[in-house]
Structure 1
Amino acid sequence: MTKTDVPAESLTRLYARPGFLLRRAHQISASVFEDECRSVGLTPAQFGVLTVLRATPGLDQSSLARALGFDKVTVLRVLRGLETRGLVLRTPAPESRRNLAVALSPVGERLLAKAHKPAERAYQRLMAPLAPDQQAQLVALLQQLTEGLEDHARAAFVPPEQT
């Protein structure tokens, strides 16, 4: 079969697959976020880490990874970048000296506060094509999809208990 023998509907079918659309939506979401948050120099992953740490200071690295659905390598890479910028502090965890507890530094607290408005603008831009009822429906459907398929995830998602 040559390239010209591929039926046109195969592309239509590809472009209508949930996985394709979710990946594309993620690319667009990241681009919109990075565009709005360029002034504060945060990626979506960094913003997520800082937000979780604000809500649960002193979280260990493994719990932080689970709170975001990240694998340990990804959370470590993000933390190293944030630590280099002086935005987070890693110290031995009180319950186990082998684990590290992570908290926002004062600089990280200030940057996260500064990032609130651009992150909200990114959210509004991302949701703008949808009517308010569609926005709520999209979020509800994505939550249902991710909760229903959680057992198939490469990295566990376990939200921390907020302090």
Structure 2
Amino acid sequence: MTAEHAPRILYQVKQVELAVRGRLDAVVRPHGITVTQYTALTVLEQHPGMSSAQLARHAFVSAQAMEGIVRALGDAGLIARVRDTDNRRRMTISLTPAGVALLAACRSDVDRIEAEAFAGLSASERVRLGTWLQDARRALEESH
């Protein structure tokens, strides 16, 4: 197949995203959360103390959608919102022990999905792929 007839890289990335989303849904649904809620929890695991607006940007949803996600996760006891001591108008969001436990319960299944998806890549190729994907995301953000 020639390059001009090969599927676009953007199309291939979207196919991978949809396949991963389906597999993640099967893993997180029994825990009572959605893939989008799982994404928000993993972002908070890496960046505790974010505002709702920051979390929305990192989780790739609108601020309005994040309001519902934060409400649901808070109602489920998976996150806690506290007033920022430096800026009393700002609320920060962090995982609760239940949120940490839920992520731990999902970790081996998520690790398996990732291992299956990228089994054909060496460790250094996985690092390189991660770098390329981050570079692509950054380039799109900067050009927007």
TM-score computed with the length of structure 2 as normaliser: 0.76
Provide closer, same or farther for how the CA distance between residues 98 and 110 of structure 1 changes in structure 2, counting only shifts above 3 A.
same
Asked whether the equivalents of residues 82 and 92 of structure 2 are also in contact (C-alpha less than 8 Å), the reply is yes
Asked whether the equivalents of residues 37 and 118 of structure 1 are also in contact (C-alpha less than 8 Å), the reply is no
In structure 2, the residue matched to 1:96 is: 87
Consecutive unaligned residues of structure 1, counting only runs of 5 or more, are 1-11, 154-163
What whole-Å deviation, never above 9, does each CA across 1:47-92 have from its counterpart, x for those lacking one? 2322232343332222223333443223223212211211112232
- The higher radius of gyration belongs to 1
**RCO (CA 8 Å, sep 6+): is it higher in 1 or 2?**
1
In structure 2, the residue matched to 1:131 is: 121
C-alpha separation in 1, matches of 2:116 and 2:30: 17
Identity, % of aligned positions: 24
Residue 97 of structure 1 aligns to a residue whose secondary structure is coil
In structure 2, the residue matched to 1:114 is: 105
- Please provide the CA RMSD for this pair: 2.6
Residue 86 of structure 1 aligns to a residue whose secondary structure is coil
TM-score computed with the length of structure 1 as normaliser: 0.69
Number of equivalenced pairs: 140
Deviation at 1:116, TM superposition (A): 1.5
Consecutive unaligned residues of structure 2, counting only runs of 5 or more, are none
Provide closer, same or farther for how the CA distance between residues 136 and 101 of structure 1 changes in structure 2, counting only shifts above 3 A.
closer
